[in-house]
Copies of this chain bind each other. A is one copy, B any other.
Amino acid sequence: MPDRLSIFEVAKQANCSIATVSNVLNNKGRVSAQKRKDIMKIVTAVGYRVNSAGRNLRMKRTEIFGLLFYPSCAEIFGNPFYAEVMGGLERRLTQAGYHLLLAGYEAATSTSPIPDFLRTGKVDGIILLGRFPTEIIRSFSRLKTPLLLLDSNAEWPLDSVVSDGFSGGVQLVRHLAEKGHKRAVMLAYAWEDYNIDLRIQGFRTGLREFGLDEGAHSVIRTSLSHSDLYRDLKARLDGENPPTAIVAVNDTLAVALMSMLQADGYDIPGDISVVGYDDEKIAQTSTPPLTTMRVNRPELGRAGAELILERTSVPKSPVAKIRLPVELVERESVAAPRVLAAAWPDSRPVEE
Protein backbone atom coordinates (compact mmCIF):
# COMPACT_ATOMS: atom_id res chain seq x y z
CA MET A 1 0.00 0.00 0.00
CA PRO A 2 2.23 2.81 -1.25
CA ASP A 3 1.54 6.47 -0.58
CA ARG A 4 -1.22 7.67 -2.78
CA LEU A 5 -2.84 11.04 -2.97
CA SER A 6 -5.52 11.75 -0.47
CA ILE A 7 -8.84 13.49 -0.49
CA PHE A 8 -7.03 16.67 0.59
CA GLU A 9 -5.17 16.87 -2.68
CA VAL A 10 -8.41 16.64 -4.63
CA ALA A 11 -10.03 19.26 -2.41
CA LYS A 12 -7.12 21.63 -2.86
CA GLN A 13 -7.18 21.35 -6.64
CA ALA A 14 -10.95 21.77 -6.69
CA ASN A 15 -10.80 24.74 -4.38
CA CYS A 16 -13.23 23.27 -1.95
CA SER A 17 -13.32 21.33 1.29
CA ILE A 18 -12.72 17.64 1.73
CA ALA A 19 -16.30 17.36 2.97
CA THR A 20 -17.60 18.38 -0.41
CA VAL A 21 -15.32 15.96 -2.21
CA SER A 22 -16.50 13.21 0.05
CA ASN A 23 -20.11 14.10 -0.61
CA VAL A 24 -19.55 13.98 -4.32
CA LEU A 25 -17.72 10.68 -4.14
CA ASN A 26 -20.45 9.09 -2.10
CA ASN A 27 -23.29 10.60 -4.08
CA LYS A 28 -24.77 12.48 -1.21
CA GLY A 29 -27.14 14.86 -2.92
CA ARG A 30 -26.24 18.18 -1.33
CA VAL A 31 -23.72 19.44 -3.84
CA SER A 32 -24.43 21.73 -6.79
CA ALA A 33 -24.26 20.14 -10.19
CA GLN A 34 -21.45 22.43 -11.25
CA LYS A 35 -19.26 21.68 -8.25
CA ARG A 36 -19.94 17.99 -8.65
CA LYS A 37 -18.80 18.10 -12.25
CA ASP A 38 -15.65 20.05 -11.42
CA ILE A 39 -14.71 17.69 -8.68
CA MET A 40 -15.37 14.59 -10.73
CA LYS A 41 -13.16 15.95 -13.48
CA ILE A 42 -10.28 16.38 -11.07
CA VAL A 43 -10.89 13.01 -9.51
CA THR A 44 -10.56 11.27 -12.84
CA ALA A 45 -7.71 13.52 -13.95
CA VAL A 46 -5.53 12.66 -10.98
CA GLY A 47 -6.86 9.12 -10.73
CA TYR A 48 -7.94 9.50 -7.15
CA ARG A 49 -9.34 6.44 -5.40
CA VAL A 50 -10.64 6.56 -1.88
CA ASN A 51 -8.32 4.99 0.67
CA SER A 52 -9.96 1.97 2.19
CA ALA A 53 -8.09 2.20 5.48
CA GLY A 54 -9.44 5.64 6.28
CA ARG A 55 -12.87 4.72 5.13
CA ASN A 56 -12.92 1.47 7.08
CA LEU A 57 -11.86 3.15 10.26
CA ARG A 58 -14.50 5.81 10.00
CA MET A 59 -17.34 3.58 8.76
CA LYS A 60 -16.51 0.53 10.88
CA ARG A 61 -16.99 -1.46 7.73
CA THR A 62 -14.47 -3.16 5.49
CA GLU A 63 -16.62 -4.31 2.58
CA ILE A 64 -14.92 -7.65 2.83
CA PHE A 65 -16.49 -10.97 3.71
CA GLY A 66 -14.47 -13.86 5.02
CA LEU A 67 -14.90 -17.03 3.00
CA LEU A 68 -14.24 -20.02 5.16
CA PHE A 69 -13.59 -23.57 4.05
CA TYR A 70 -13.35 -26.62 6.19
CA PRO A 71 -10.81 -27.76 6.97
CA SER A 72 -8.57 -26.05 4.44
CA CYS A 73 -8.72 -24.29 1.12
CA ALA A 74 -6.98 -27.20 -0.51
CA GLU A 75 -9.77 -29.56 0.48
CA ILE A 76 -12.33 -27.56 -1.32
CA PHE A 77 -10.55 -26.15 -4.28
CA GLY A 78 -10.29 -28.83 -6.82
CA ASN A 79 -13.98 -29.38 -6.35
CA PRO A 80 -15.62 -28.07 -9.51
CA PHE A 81 -18.93 -27.80 -7.73
CA TYR A 82 -17.61 -25.09 -5.44
CA ALA A 83 -15.70 -23.48 -8.25
CA GLU A 84 -18.95 -22.60 -9.95
CA VAL A 85 -20.65 -21.60 -6.73
CA MET A 86 -17.81 -19.20 -6.08
CA GLY A 87 -18.15 -17.80 -9.56
CA GLY A 88 -21.71 -16.71 -8.82
CA LEU A 89 -20.79 -15.51 -5.37
CA GLU A 90 -17.87 -13.43 -6.51
CA ARG A 91 -19.75 -11.83 -9.38
CA ARG A 92 -22.54 -10.53 -7.21
CA LEU A 93 -20.28 -9.38 -4.39
CA THR A 94 -17.93 -7.54 -6.70
CA GLN A 95 -20.88 -5.77 -8.18
CA ALA A 96 -21.86 -4.63 -4.70
CA GLY A 97 -18.34 -3.43 -4.01
CA TYR A 98 -17.50 -6.30 -1.70
CA HIS A 99 -14.52 -8.60 -1.68
CA LEU A 100 -13.73 -12.04 -0.34
CA LEU A 101 -11.04 -12.87 2.17
CA LEU A 102 -10.01 -16.46 1.81
CA ALA A 103 -9.16 -18.93 4.52
CA GLY A 104 -9.25 -22.54 5.48
CA TYR A 105 -10.80 -22.93 8.90
CA GLU A 106 -7.74 -24.44 10.49
CA ALA A 107 -5.38 -21.81 9.16
CA ALA A 108 -7.68 -18.99 10.17
CA THR A 109 -8.24 -20.13 13.73
CA SER A 110 -4.93 -20.88 15.34
CA THR A 111 -6.02 -19.62 18.75
CA SER A 112 -9.77 -19.29 19.18
CA PRO A 113 -12.56 -21.12 17.34
CA ILE A 114 -13.38 -17.77 15.76
CA PRO A 115 -11.11 -16.80 12.89
CA ASP A 116 -8.54 -14.20 13.57
CA PHE A 117 -9.59 -12.04 10.66
CA LEU A 118 -13.02 -11.73 12.19
CA ARG A 119 -11.75 -10.87 15.64
CA THR A 120 -9.51 -8.13 14.29
CA GLY A 121 -12.32 -6.67 12.27
CA LYS A 122 -10.89 -7.47 8.87
CA VAL A 123 -14.26 -8.66 7.61
CA ASP A 124 -17.90 -7.60 7.85
CA GLY A 125 -19.26 -11.11 7.87
CA ILE A 126 -18.45 -14.72 7.21
CA ILE A 127 -19.50 -17.18 4.58
CA LEU A 128 -19.18 -20.83 5.46
CA LEU A 129 -18.86 -22.79 2.24
CA GLY A 130 -19.56 -26.49 2.48
CA ARG A 131 -20.16 -28.69 5.47
CA PHE A 132 -18.64 -27.83 8.84
CA PRO A 133 -18.57 -29.84 12.05
CA THR A 134 -21.52 -29.07 14.28
CA GLU A 135 -19.30 -27.70 17.01
CA ILE A 136 -17.90 -25.06 14.74
CA ILE A 137 -21.24 -23.94 13.43
CA ARG A 138 -22.37 -23.63 17.01
CA SER A 139 -19.54 -21.24 17.83
CA PHE A 140 -20.37 -19.12 14.83
CA SER A 141 -24.07 -19.13 15.54
CA ARG A 142 -23.44 -17.30 18.79
CA LEU A 143 -21.82 -14.40 16.99
CA LYS A 144 -23.66 -11.25 16.12
CA THR A 145 -21.69 -10.96 12.88
CA PRO A 146 -23.50 -11.57 9.60
CA LEU A 147 -23.11 -15.23 8.80
CA LEU A 148 -24.07 -17.28 5.76
CA LEU A 149 -24.14 -21.04 5.39
CA LEU A 150 -23.60 -21.77 1.73
CA ASP A 151 -24.27 -25.31 0.58
CA SER A 152 -23.71 -26.18 4.19
CA ASN A 153 -25.48 -27.35 7.33
CA ALA A 154 -28.90 -25.84 6.67
CA GLU A 155 -30.50 -27.32 9.77
CA TRP A 156 -29.39 -24.32 11.81
CA PRO A 157 -31.56 -21.23 12.29
CA LEU A 158 -29.11 -19.18 10.27
CA ASP A 159 -29.15 -17.64 6.84
CA SER A 160 -28.47 -20.41 4.40
CA VAL A 161 -28.67 -21.41 0.77
CA VAL A 162 -28.81 -25.03 -0.27
CA SER A 163 -30.07 -26.86 -3.29
CA ASP A 164 -33.39 -28.60 -2.85
CA GLY A 165 -32.19 -32.13 -2.32
CA PHE A 166 -35.62 -33.26 -1.22
CA SER A 167 -37.22 -32.21 -4.45
CA GLY A 168 -34.33 -33.77 -6.34
CA GLY A 169 -34.93 -37.10 -4.68
CA VAL A 170 -38.63 -36.96 -5.49
CA GLN A 171 -38.03 -35.95 -9.10
CA LEU A 172 -35.65 -38.81 -9.70
CA VAL A 173 -38.19 -41.33 -8.47
CA ARG A 174 -40.90 -39.74 -10.57
CA HIS A 175 -38.69 -40.06 -13.60
CA LEU A 176 -38.03 -43.73 -12.88
CA ALA A 177 -41.73 -44.32 -12.25
CA GLU A 178 -42.62 -42.74 -15.55
CA LYS A 179 -40.23 -45.11 -17.26
CA GLY A 180 -42.09 -47.97 -15.65
CA HIS A 181 -39.83 -48.91 -12.76
CA LYS A 182 -41.39 -50.49 -9.70
CA ARG A 183 -38.36 -51.15 -7.52
CA ALA A 184 -35.46 -48.78 -7.00
CA VAL A 185 -32.61 -48.67 -4.52
CA MET A 186 -30.72 -45.60 -3.43
CA LEU A 187 -27.03 -45.68 -2.51
CA ALA A 188 -25.28 -43.08 -0.40
CA TYR A 189 -22.14 -42.75 1.64
CA ALA A 190 -22.50 -43.49 5.34
CA TRP A 191 -21.66 -39.94 6.14
CA GLU A 192 -23.53 -37.30 8.07
CA ASP A 193 -24.66 -34.68 5.58
CA TYR A 194 -27.72 -32.51 5.63
CA ASN A 195 -28.21 -32.33 1.88
CA ILE A 196 -27.72 -36.07 1.47
CA ASP A 197 -30.34 -36.64 4.12
CA LEU A 198 -32.70 -34.45 2.14
CA ARG A 199 -32.07 -36.39 -1.04
CA ILE A 200 -32.79 -39.63 0.73
CA GLN A 201 -35.97 -38.27 2.31
CA GLY A 202 -37.05 -37.08 -1.11
CA PHE A 203 -36.30 -40.49 -2.55
CA ARG A 204 -38.39 -42.19 0.12
CA THR A 205 -41.24 -39.76 -0.35
CA GLY A 206 -41.04 -40.36 -4.09
CA LEU A 207 -41.30 -44.11 -3.62
CA ARG A 208 -44.48 -43.64 -1.66
CA GLU A 209 -45.95 -40.99 -3.89
CA PHE A 210 -45.37 -42.85 -7.14
CA GLY A 211 -46.22 -46.27 -5.82
CA LEU A 212 -42.82 -47.94 -5.87
CA ASP A 213 -41.76 -50.63 -3.41
CA GLU A 214 -40.77 -49.16 -0.08
CA GLY A 215 -38.93 -52.14 1.36
CA ALA A 216 -36.83 -51.66 4.44
CA HIS A 217 -33.79 -51.99 2.25
CA SER A 218 -34.56 -49.37 -0.35
CA VAL A 219 -31.62 -47.27 0.86
CA ILE A 220 -28.09 -48.62 1.14
CA ARG A 221 -25.92 -46.34 3.21
CA THR A 222 -23.56 -48.79 4.76
CA SER A 223 -20.10 -47.54 3.96
CA LEU A 224 -17.84 -44.80 2.69
CA SER A 225 -16.23 -47.00 0.09
CA HIS A 226 -17.49 -47.62 -3.41
CA SER A 227 -16.59 -51.28 -3.34
CA ASP A 228 -18.40 -51.91 -0.04
CA LEU A 229 -21.46 -50.16 -1.34
CA TYR A 230 -21.28 -52.21 -4.51
CA ARG A 231 -21.01 -55.42 -2.52
CA ASP A 232 -24.21 -54.58 -0.69
CA LEU A 233 -25.91 -53.54 -3.89
CA LYS A 234 -24.88 -56.80 -5.51
CA ALA A 235 -26.45 -58.72 -2.67
CA ARG A 236 -29.73 -56.91 -3.37
CA LEU A 237 -29.48 -57.57 -7.08
CA ASP A 238 -28.86 -61.26 -6.51
CA GLY A 239 -31.69 -61.57 -4.00
CA GLU A 240 -35.45 -61.71 -4.35
CA ASN A 241 -37.24 -58.94 -6.22
CA PRO A 242 -34.12 -57.12 -7.29
CA PRO A 243 -34.43 -53.41 -8.00
CA THR A 244 -34.52 -52.37 -11.64
CA ALA A 245 -33.10 -48.91 -11.02
CA ILE A 246 -30.32 -47.44 -8.92
CA VAL A 247 -30.21 -43.93 -7.53
CA ALA A 248 -26.68 -42.90 -6.57
CA VAL A 249 -26.22 -39.99 -4.23
CA ASN A 250 -23.84 -38.33 -6.65
CA ASP A 251 -22.44 -38.82 -10.12
CA THR A 252 -19.05 -40.03 -8.97
CA LEU A 253 -20.66 -42.88 -7.10
CA ALA A 254 -23.04 -43.54 -9.99
CA VAL A 255 -20.20 -43.85 -12.46
CA ALA A 256 -18.21 -46.08 -10.14
CA LEU A 257 -21.22 -48.35 -9.68
CA MET A 258 -21.84 -48.42 -13.41
CA SER A 259 -18.39 -49.64 -14.22
CA MET A 260 -18.51 -52.29 -11.51
CA LEU A 261 -21.90 -53.41 -12.80
CA GLN A 262 -20.59 -53.50 -16.35
CA ALA A 263 -17.57 -55.48 -15.24
CA ASP A 264 -20.02 -57.99 -13.80
CA GLY A 265 -21.78 -58.24 -17.11
CA TYR A 266 -24.76 -55.93 -16.59
CA ASP A 267 -25.91 -53.81 -19.48
CA ILE A 268 -26.84 -50.23 -18.58
CA PRO A 269 -29.57 -49.22 -19.07
CA GLY A 270 -30.68 -52.53 -20.65
CA ASP A 271 -30.43 -54.65 -17.53
CA ILE A 272 -30.59 -51.93 -14.98
CA SER A 273 -31.05 -48.15 -14.95
CA VAL A 274 -28.77 -45.82 -13.03
CA VAL A 275 -29.22 -42.17 -12.11
CA GLY A 276 -26.75 -39.86 -10.43
CA TYR A 277 -26.91 -36.48 -8.77
CA ASP A 278 -25.12 -33.13 -9.22
CA ASP A 279 -24.52 -33.22 -12.98
CA GLU A 280 -20.79 -33.40 -12.56
CA LYS A 281 -18.65 -33.26 -15.65
CA ILE A 282 -18.19 -37.00 -15.61
CA ALA A 283 -21.92 -37.45 -16.13
CA GLN A 284 -21.51 -36.34 -19.73
CA THR A 285 -18.56 -38.52 -20.58
CA SER A 286 -19.47 -41.71 -18.77
CA THR A 287 -20.64 -44.79 -20.63
CA PRO A 288 -23.52 -44.47 -20.95
CA PRO A 289 -23.97 -40.74 -20.30
CA LEU A 290 -25.67 -40.37 -16.98
CA THR A 291 -29.16 -39.14 -16.22
CA THR A 292 -28.79 -36.90 -13.18
CA MET A 293 -30.01 -33.85 -11.25
CA ARG A 294 -28.50 -30.51 -12.01
CA VAL A 295 -27.97 -27.82 -9.41
CA ASN A 296 -27.64 -24.28 -10.69
CA ARG A 297 -24.33 -23.70 -9.02
CA PRO A 298 -23.63 -20.08 -9.94
CA GLU A 299 -27.12 -19.26 -8.77
CA LEU A 300 -26.35 -20.88 -5.44
CA GLY A 301 -23.48 -18.42 -5.04
CA ARG A 302 -25.46 -15.47 -6.30
CA ALA A 303 -28.31 -16.13 -3.91
CA GLY A 304 -25.86 -16.47 -1.06
CA ALA A 305 -24.30 -13.14 -1.90
CA GLU A 306 -27.73 -11.54 -1.91
CA LEU A 307 -28.50 -12.97 1.48
CA ILE A 308 -25.38 -11.85 3.29
CA LEU A 309 -25.53 -8.41 1.71
CA GLU A 310 -29.07 -8.07 2.96
CA ARG A 311 -28.08 -9.31 6.40
CA THR A 312 -25.28 -6.76 6.48
CA SER A 313 -27.54 -3.85 5.67
CA VAL A 314 -30.45 -5.01 7.81
CA PRO A 315 -28.98 -7.02 10.67
CA LYS A 316 -32.29 -7.79 12.32
CA SER A 317 -34.23 -9.05 9.34
CA PRO A 318 -35.65 -12.54 9.89
CA VAL A 319 -33.50 -15.57 9.11
CA ALA A 320 -33.65 -16.49 5.44
CA LYS A 321 -33.29 -20.08 4.34
CA ILE A 322 -33.25 -20.61 0.61
CA ARG A 323 -33.70 -23.94 -1.14
CA LEU A 324 -32.78 -23.69 -4.77
CA PRO A 325 -34.73 -25.80 -7.26
CA VAL A 326 -32.92 -28.57 -9.11
CA GLU A 327 -33.50 -29.86 -12.59
CA LEU A 328 -33.55 -33.33 -14.13
CA VAL A 329 -31.02 -33.87 -16.91
CA GLU A 330 -32.02 -36.82 -19.04
CA ARG A 331 -29.21 -38.73 -20.68
CA GLU A 332 -28.90 -42.40 -21.55
CA SER A 333 -28.55 -44.35 -18.34
CA VAL A 334 -32.26 -44.92 -17.81
CA ALA A 335 -34.58 -47.16 -19.80
CA ALA A 336 -37.75 -49.09 -19.15
CA PRO A 337 -37.12 -52.06 -16.86
CA ARG A 338 -36.56 -55.30 -18.72
CA VAL A 339 -38.98 -57.33 -16.60
CA LEU A 340 -41.69 -54.88 -17.41
CA ALA A 341 -40.88 -54.95 -21.07
CA ALA A 342 -41.14 -58.73 -21.02
CA ALA A 343 -44.31 -58.89 -18.97
CA TRP A 344 -46.31 -56.27 -20.81
CA PRO A 345 -44.85 -56.06 -24.28
CA ASP A 346 -47.30 -53.38 -25.32
CA SER A 347 -46.99 -51.10 -22.29
CA ARG A 348 -46.01 -47.50 -22.85
CA PRO A 349 -42.28 -47.61 -22.25
CA VAL A 350 -41.91 -50.27 -24.92
CA GLU A 351 -44.04 -48.57 -27.54
CA GLU A 352 -41.46 -45.88 -27.98
Contact = CB atoms under 8 A, between A and B. Distances in A.
One complex includes copies of this chain to the number of 2
B78 A91 contact: no
A90 interface: yes
A99 interface: yes
A49 B102 contact: no
A102 B1 contact: no
A61 B107 contact: no
A86 B61 contact: no
A156 to B, nearest CB: 20
Interface stretch (A114-122, A174-182, A334-342): A114-122
A99 B99 contact: no
A277 interface: no
Q: How large is the interface on A (under 10, 10 to 19, 20 to 34, 35 or more residues)?
A: 35 or more
Nearest to A77: B83
Contacts of A307: none
Interface string A80-117: 10111011001100100001111110011010000011
Nearest to A121: B1
Nearest to A54: B57
Contacts of A40: none
Interface in A68-84: 72-74, 76-80, 82-84
Contacts of A136: none
Contacts of A4: 121
A207 B102 CA distance: 44
B103 A52 contact: no
Contacts of A101: 64, 99-102
A192 interface: no
Given A72-B87, A90-B73, A49 B99 contact: no
Nearest to A66: B99
Interface in A195-221: none
Contacts of A108: 94
A141 interface: no
Closest 4 pairs between A and B when the two form their complex, measured CB to CB: A74-B87, A77-B83, A78-B83, A78-B80
Given A74-B86, A100-B102, 12 more contacts: A1-B61, A1-B124, A2-B145, A49-B120, A54-B57, A64-B101, A73-B87, A77-B80, A77-B83, A90-B102, A91-B107, A102-B102
